[in-house]
Structure 1
Amino acid sequence: MSSSNFETTIQAYLENRAKTDSLFAETYRKANKSIEECIKYIYSKARKLAKGGNAVGVDDATVYGWAVHYYDEDDIKVKDVKERVEVVAPTTVQEPVVQEPVKEEKPEPVKQKSARKKTKQELQKIFDSRQLSLFDM
């Protein structure tokens, strides 16, 4: 299997994790595990998630979790899976980021000043100023 962008991304993540997590570093060095088989395992998990469909979207954290799980478990049997993967990933590998839920701030309703009612005299002035006279022309 030739090295794909997807495989390179997964391998870089696992190597970075092994550098920072000594327990995982031991698991990552298991002789009976390989990155090629790890990728096949990820494909098979995605296929199951698609439930017979042709496509499925899976977030980074889930894919990385499957990769780690593959190395953690000794009894995983991977069948040959022929799949195509499209990766939308940053150019550098990053640890999955857990974002805090954003609190939505509701805008305060705009308070309008209540309009003052015009007196009869004011209304008459407005009416008179708008009324045309034949003599004004």
Structure 2
Amino acid sequence: MATQFEDTIKNYLDGRAKEDSLFAETYKKENKSIEECCKYIMQQAQKMYNKRVNGGIAIDRKTVYGWAVHYYDEDDIKLEGELERVEVAAPSTIQNPISKEKPVQKKNERKKTKQERQKIFESRQLSLFDM
């Protein structure tokens, strides 16, 4: 049974294969699997964790997905032994990258006129006599 993490990675790679025909061929490699891909990702995260100074680490999804693609691109990746304890935690929007929800966008502010920008600049300017 696949984990939620494996499902998330698979969903991303499936989508990437639909958009990128070159990757689609790479993704079909018989000697590769989602399970091993996720193990590779965890090992990369573990390497980053071992180099940390204090506490835990946070890895953005772009990096994680990049490791997944790299796993399929390279034929000479060697998976190491057992993993140390690794926790995967992410907000639900990251766990489901193909979410139908649109991100909340800030309302565009009105651009300031040249006079307004000049007034702000002048109000922030220091004078030698003010010191």
Query: Is the shorter-chain TM-score for this pair beyond 0.5, marking a shared fold?
Result: yes
User: Aligned residue for 2:73?
Assistant: 72
Query: Which stretches of structure 1, 4 residues or more, deviate above 6 A after TM superposition?
Result: none
Counterpart CA distance in 1 for 2:40 and 2:74 is 12
Alpha-carbon shift at residue 58 of structure 1 (Å): 0.2
| In structure 2, C-alpha distance between the alignment counterparts of 1:5 and 1:87, rounded to whole Å | 11
Residue 108 (1) aligns with residue 120 (2): yes
Q: TM-score if structure 1 supplies the norm length?
A: 0.63
**What aligned pairs does 1:1-137 form with structure 2 within 5 A after superposition?**
2-51=1-50, 55-79=56-80, 80-82=82-84, 83-90=86-93, 92-94=96-98, 108=120
CA distance in 1 between counterparts of 2:92 and 2:32 reads: 25
The equivalent residue for 1:97 is none
**Aligned residues with identical type, % of pairs:** 48
Displacement of 1:93 in angstroms is 1.5
**For residues 45-88 of structure 1, what are the alpha-carbon distances to aligned partners after superposition, in whole Å with 9 as ceiling and x for unaligned?**
00111126563200010000000000000000112325331122
Partner amino acid, structure 2, of 1:84? E
The code of the aligned residue for 2:87 comes to R
Higher helix fraction (1 or 2): 2
Where 1:108 maps in the other structure, the secondary structure is helix
| Matched residue, 1:133 | none
Query: Hey, what's the Cα distance between the residues in 2 that align with 1:68 and 1:34?
Result: 12
Structure of higher RCO (CA pairs closer than 8 Å, 6+ residues apart): 2
Letter in 1 for 2:91: V
What does the per-residue CA deviation read over 1:80-137, in whole Å, with 9 as the maximum and x for residues that have no partner?
325331122416425xxxxxxxxxx9881686xxxxxxxxxxxxxxxxxxxxxxxxxx
Give the distance between the partners of 1:47 and 1:89, measured in 2 at CA.
22
Question: Which range moves more in the overlay, 12-21 or 81-90?
Answer: 81-90
Structure 2 residue runs of 5 or longer lacking an equivalent are 99-111, 124-131
Tell me whether 62-71 or 3-12 shows the greater mean CA deviation: 3-12
